[in-house]
Structure 1
């Protein structure tokens, strides 16, 4: 076997050790929200509309809150690497303080987010939404709002365990939460001998309960781990202000990046909706497929990001560059398999989403699926690129690049091709592809420049 290929396989196995559990955890979380959606639909179409509206608000705020604590994993990975290298208590105390600061930041973000959810619930009627749908959505929002706090606590502990390279409990807890969520949904919706019948708001209460139980389960698991327990501190009042400021400075651009990306895809969906119900249905189906496959890239992105933080803390800049190559190669291999399926049996892939007689939506979706086969390569690459820059602590640079790629390249191109050429939905998706491709190229370019600057600053001075 050629040395280069052998090295790639070795690095790939090491990366997969962390990436696979994270990717599976992401896929399990998708199943969690899918369960809620199915339960809403079983109640009524009106419940699905109102519950879906509440979930959009909750997911937007949750996503941005998760972004605030995402950098914790990178900081923990770097501090843990220094603790292993130097064997000092100072680096271990740094990890403890990072955990305290992340939980404090999660608490503050959760409280602010919960208040915003209630305020948005009262203001949605001014955003052109149907008054009856808004009235039905409000109790769901009220029930889900408190769940934002344990949700972000869970994410803070998750980043700690991942940064310490011990994510195994995450997958078990997330899979268990799917079954618990389904059971609580059913109990709270229909009522039992100990639980009143709550209807649609019961789904919101189930969501809050599952997040609280998931946090307690992950915390208990970490407490039983001899490597994690000594570093897991809940004394958030002892957080160093400097650590909290550092995490906030790193996390705010990540939260903004996540919010910007979600907003970009929301605007694209509105543009597609202007072409009618069939176009919007096709877009929704193919976008959901892309979102599911995207979770693999999320796992690779987090694993590569933490690996870069760790290697740079140890001074291994060449290893950081190899991580980039390995993550991109792994993503390309998976996307190639998925693209082959999309191209060869598109109607079979789309069958679960459409009635057999809905030929108009299916025909549009088949064409979009061909675009998605290429788009996924760039979508995964740009997500990995964001993670790589996070490994360099360059979260502001990642945010600026995504603003350019999404809003200055992608959206105008989508509008031009979709609204100005007669390509309609297909044109919008080609614009979406263009925006993601530009973002991917710019992110990788910035990462290479960042590593190059580190190599230049650490090179010996010329004699």
Structure 2
């Protein structure tokens, strides 16, 4: 009897599948996206407060945040694979017939190892932050701006350690698919941060008037409070509490080495991207204070929208790890299209806002009526046309990194970002910014070229890696 091959899915079937997959992805992605947006409100609040002081304080504080975020992002990368490891361990325990003692022990070991990695990364990152501040004048920054950056970094450095502890516990809750407390805690931290910023800048409520460094002190305090709140919340969760073990001294060395093996390429990937943006910030600073202030404002907008991609990337990554642990390669393949479609819809809406209401978008950071801000507003308005396109590729490349992480392929992302950012994007930024005389606009066009190249290469790599994984699984079966 002849077998009739199945018909390929029609448009309606594909649309139904995409809608179903989008709802499934949104179940994990939406809390993460909202948490990311709330978390970036911390730095957005800081940036707005800096702008209230002066254009020079905005330039200096923005550069300090760029350096802080560079090291914070790399530290976060070291513990990002924790969520994937925990998701896979939980899925294997589920497929074996329930929550076994072995599965619980595996999760506890991963959590302890993640705290050990976070502690080492936090201490090393704080030291590097202070050393970087001392080298700013050698990198072409104005002396007055460099002095302000150094004092702000001194206040920010102590916050890196609790920030990374928070991220380790966060990855644990995400891997267990119970991230709901993250949003409540992060929203509360935004309010606390805004109040402390204002109090420490102005010297209200009996606190000293610290000016710009007060913003760094407030941020460090908020990171500590956020970690303590997340830990307390997890200890009250009946599912998470039995698995939460933070004693880094008892961490299994083999597990620590495994997390470091996976985490170093992720940290290098994140660092490669953050470093790319850090170098372009230094390039923008070479064109003057107004150019650096415009770059800081626009970069903060990109950073805000980027959180949508971060949430989608984490959710897609966790789901890929889970689906592959359950042997469902077809579902893992569909996750890419679902995540990219969701990201494109959001980016299109944001681009429309940039193009139709540029002054409103820039108003929280720069005042068009202020004499000192007029030039910065003019530069930033032109840059909005570039980032309207750039953000599509920025989101796509971050989702690509997450998808590869779901395959435990963390090295490819790093290699690809080296090519896209440093071999394509940075030379393009230099040529367009300096050689072609486009200044800050040329730098952002170079950023666009680098992000577009990286996104294309990452997504192609995911498709090839998934096919290889599927063939290997078929042979093993």
Pairwise CA distance, 1:378: 1.1
Equivalent residue for 1:309, pick from 292, 302, 321: 321
Q: What's the TM-score once normalised by structure 2's chain length?
A: 0.88
| d(CA) in 2 for partners of 1:139, 1:415 | 30
Q: Using the TM superposition, give the Cα deviation of residue 376 of structure 1 relative to its aligned residue in structure 2, in angstroms.
A: 1.6
Of stretches 1-10 and 402-411 in structure 1, the one that deviates more from structure 2 is 1-10
Per mean C-alpha deviation after superposition, the further-off stretch among 9-18 and 117-126 is 117-126
Q: How many residues align?
A: 462
Paired residue for 1:236, among 230, 248, 261?
248
Q: Gaps spanning 5+ residues in structure 1: where?
A: none
Q: Is the 8 A contact 1:83 1:89 kept in 2?
A: no
Q: Are the structure 2 counterparts of residues 269 and 142 from structure 1 closer, same or farther at C-alpha, using a change threshold of 3 Å?
A: closer
Find the counterpart in structure 2 of residue 446 from structure 1. 461
Residue 426 of structure 2 contacts residue 446 of structure 2 at CA under 8 Å; is this kept in 1? yes
Q: What CA distance in whole angstroms lies between the structure 1 residues aligned with 2:362 and 2:203?
A: 36
What residue is the counterpart of 2:238 in the other structure?
226
1:376 corresponding residue in structure 2: 391
Q: Which of 243, 247, 256 lines up with 2:259 in the alignment? A: 247
What SS does the aligned partner of 1:439 have?
helix
Which of 301, 306, 309 aligns to 1:294? It is 306
Once the two structures are overlaid, the 10-residue window that deviates more, 80-89 or 273-282, is 273-282
Deviates more, 1:382-391 or 1:207-216: 207-216
Structure 2 Cα separation of the partners of residues 107 and 359 of structure 1: 44
Normalising by structure 1, what TM-score? 0.90
Q: State the 1:117 CA deviation.
A: 3.1
Kindly report the root-mean-square deviation, in angstroms, between the aligned alpha carbons of the 2 structures: 2.7
Q: Does 1:340 pair with 2:349?
A: no
The answer as to whether partners of 1:269 and 1:280 remain within 8 angstroms in 2 is yes
SS of aligned partner of 1:22 = helix
1:4 paired residue number: 14
Gap change, CA 1:137 and 1:371, over 3 Å in 2: closer
The C-alpha deviation readout for 1:153-209, integer Å capped at 9, x for no partner, is: 000000100111111111110110111122223344444676455454433332222
Structure 2 spans left out of the alignment, 5+ residues: 1-10
Compute the displacement of 1:394 (Å): 1.0
Deviation at 1:35, TM superposition (A): 2.2
1:355 matches 2:365: no
**1:361–1:62 Cα change, 3 Å:** closer
Return the offset for 1:409: 1.4
CA spacing shift, 1:186–1:285, aligned 2, 3 Å: closer
Among 17, 35, 48, the alignment partner of 1:38 is: 48
Counterpart residue number, 1:163:
175
Residue 164 of structure 2 is matched in structure 1 by 152
Whole-angstrom distance in 2 between the partners of 1:404 and 1:119: 28
Distance 2:181 2:463 in 1: 34
- Cα displacement (A) at 1:136: 4.8
| 8 Å Cα contact 1:278-1:360 kept in structure 2 | yes
Of 432-441 and 123-132, deviating more is 123-132
User: Which residue of structure 2 lines up, in the alignment, with residue 202 of structure 1?
Assistant: 214
